[in-house]
Structures are given as structure tokens and as C-alpha cells.
Structure 1
Amino acid sequence: MLLNDKLKPYRLLLASQSPRRRELMTGCGLPYELAEKFDCEETYPDDLPLIGVSEYLSTLKSEAYPVPLLENDILLTADTVVLAGGEFRMTAEGTTWHGGEILGKPRDRDDARRMLKILSGAHHLVTTGVTLRSAARMTHFTSLTYVWFRTLTDEEIAYYVDTFQPFDKAGAYGIQEWIGYAAIECIEGSFYNVMGLPVQKVYTELDKFLNP
């Protein structure tokens, strides 16, 4: 049975104001409703490994949702962060990211230009944490994508920021915009994860969530 048919008895609630996540959910053919807008203070422990921040925040958002879930409700929350200036390692304990910093949404034009200068001519890691929660249980996961940027000129950075105003995007860029065509040399992992939602993994995890 197709996942769309399995979801018919349920109400899938997308708790996100991101137009890109809505676009991706629609493109994947998943029927959903927008959850009520709510506030959540997006903070995390100082000692939390950077690679786990997006999953922690997606769970924090899920737990902050103020409306009690009905028996047939499934709430989907997500958070995307960009890790730059560090090193990606695989160890016996799992995947880690050493050093660097988290690039969230830029505060203003100058902050966006600062972030893009950090990304220029280097690689970074995009992580999206996703949490699925019903009235009875919860699961969460992280998707990782490596992205390589060619070196950008100051003029190119200024053009992108002033034209596309990427102030609502982690890392101050949208891969689906001009900068993705002109500046990104290659990626390793899900393209849609960089847009803000790893829809293939969401699809498969939703299927498992319905069949525990």
C-alpha cells in the first residue's frame, strides 16, 4: 500500500513556516495540514555536539507545540543548521563534526555577507533534524549533506544577498536559487536536505512510524 493511502486515517501536521518545506511536502505527494503557529525559544546546551543541534531543536519544537495531539495526529517538526569551518569525521562512536561554528539565519545584510565569505571556497555540512510525534510516541532523526562552494567574489556575494535577501535561510543561502546554480560545485547527500527537508528520509521514516 502506498504511504499516501496509509496516511488517510491520519492528520499529518507540518509545524513549519518555511515555504520551502511546504513545497517539498507537496512535491513528495504527502497530504498535510499546517500546524498552528507557535513560539519556541531555540536554545541548546553548550556541551551538545554540533552535529546533534538540528535534531535537538526539532525535538524541542515538537515538545513546545501547545495543542494536544489527537489519536490520529502526527506532528512533524524540523530544524536545519549549517556547520562551517570544521572537520567531518567518522569514528567508532558515530559521525562527528569538530571545530567550526553553526551558521543559523543571518541577522541582517552584513551578517549574511559574513556567512557567505566563510562558505566561499570551502566545504560545509548541512544538517536537518526531523521529529515525528503522535499522542503515543515520538521518533527523530538527522540527515547530513556535504556542500562544496567555489570561491565567490565580494561582488557576487553582494549581488546574491541584495537580490535574494536570504535572511530566512540557515547559512544565508538557498541552494535552489542563483547561488546554487552559479556557485555550488558539488554536494554529497540529499539536495532537498539543503533546501530544508530530507523528503526521501521523511517519506521512509513516516512509513516506519505508521508500522512500528
Structure 2
Amino acid sequence: MLNKLFKDYNIVLGSNSPRRKQYLTDLGFSFTVRASDIDESYPEELVREQITDYIAKAKADAIEILHDNEIIITSDTTVWNNHTSLGKPENRDEAYTMLKSLCGHEHEVISSVCLKSKESVSVFHCITKVSFSDLSDEALYFYIDQYKPYDKAGAYGIQEWIGLVGIDKIDGSYTNIVGLPTKELVEELLKFIKN
């Protein structure tokens, strides 16, 4: 259905994330991938969704639009916990520290998406609240060692083992936690092509 609605557009995913690729495929889009490596640092005065909005737009700005009918989709996700943005852990110790800080508490997963064409740019974000169980150190190290969550904000993938045993409650979009709020993406894309 969506492929027909967007038949006149070339959808470009500006990400190498296997999860984002899978979601666009599952939605029925035909798309190409054209990602760019950018410096994901941001001005230190930014907080929460300001951070992910900024990085999602920077990712889109780094990709050249080649055709008039292209729509570039980029996204950035962070975990916001105790007034701190948790990005991707660099090593086992950092992954453990991040996961331990989430245990027994509620945090927010924030994803921003940038839609960009030759004529316009739109950035939106989605916030999901997630409550983690108070997992043992043994469980945390098992997860880290088995799943190597070094490519995931907050050091976890909800679709993996830790999501099956460690999540008490989700308030909001599940797909947002994985890295791309699909329902919101479709709604925003439909608005984007009407403007």
C-alpha cells in the first residue's frame, strides 16, 4: 500500500542500521541506502529531543540529494536517564554502567527523524518511557557478553534477550525503542508529500 502512495518518490534511508532497514522493508517501501559518517557531537546546551533533532538533521544535511523526487530519511536515538543522554557504549565496562543505571528505574527513549527533499526539511521526534527491572549483575554481564550491544543507545536492544526478561513497562511506541517510530514516520511522510 505505502509503496503505491510513494511510487513517484525515491526514498533514501540515510542509515546503515539493520533495524531501520528492516522496518522500512516491513512497511513496504522500496528504498535505497545512502548513509554518511558524521561527527555526532552536539552543542552541550542541548537536552533530550533537542539532541536527537540536531543529530538527525545533521545526518540528513550530510547526504546530497541527487534527484528532485528524493526523500531522505535519517534518524537518531538516545536514551535519556537521570538528565543524561546515553549514547552507544564504547566497551564492556561502559555498557555495564549504562545498564546498571537503568535497572529499577524509568527512562526515556527519544528518536528524532529528519525528512529532507530538495524543497523542504521536517524534523519530528517520538518519546517512549521504559521501566527496567532491577536485574542482577550476572544477568547484565550475560547480556553484554552474548549480545554485544555496542551499536545501541543505552547499551540495549529491547528486541533482544534483555527486553524479554528485563522490561517491566513500556509507555509509547515500541518501534521507537528499536530506533525508528514507524507509525509516526508514516504519518509524517504523508504530511511531507502533501506540502
Same fold per superposition (TM over 0.5): yes
Determine the C-alpha separation between the residues in 1 that align with 2:40 and 2:106: 25
Q: How many aligned positions are there?
A: 195
Aligned amino acid, residue 50 of structure 1: R
Determine the C-alpha separation between the residues in 2 that align with 1:49 and 1:125: 12
Q: Larger % of strand: which?
A: 1
Determine the C-alpha separation between the residues in 2 that align with 1:39 and 1:157: 30
Determine the C-alpha separation between the residues in 1 that align with 2:61 and 2:188: 19
Aligned amino acid, residue 24 of structure 1: Y
SS of 2:157 mapped into structure 1: coil
Determine the C-alpha separation between the residues in 1 that align with 2:58 and 2:15: 13
Q: 1:74 aligns with which of 71, 74, 80?
A: 71
Match of 2:185 in 1: 202
Q: 1:107 aligns with which of 77, 90, 100?
A: 90
Match of 2:52 in 1: 54
Deviations 1:51-80 (A, max 9, x none): 321111100111111x23310110000000
Deviation at residue 136 of structure 1 after TM alignment: 1.0
SS of 2:113 mapped into structure 1: strand
Identity %: 41
Q: Any unmatched runs of 5+ in structure 1?
A: 86-99
- TM-score under structure 1 normalisation? 0.89
Q: Which runs of 4+ in 1 moved over 4 A?
A: none
- TM-score under structure 2 normalisation? 0.97
Within 5 Å, give how 1:9-48 maps onto structure 2: 9-35=8-34, 37-48=35-46
SS of 2:187 mapped into structure 1: helix
Match of 1:88 in 2: none
SS of 2:191 mapped into structure 1: helix
Deviation at residue 147 of structure 1 after TM alignment: 0.1
Deviation at residue 114 of structure 1 after TM alignment: 0.6
Determine the C-alpha separation between the residues in 1 that align with 2:85 and 2:140: 19
Contact 1:133 1:139 (8 Å CA) reproduced: yes
Match of 1:169 in 2: 152
Deviations 1:89-141 (A, max 9, x none): xxxxxxxxxxx211000011110001000001111000000000001111110
Deviation at residue 188 of structure 1 after TM alignment: 0.4
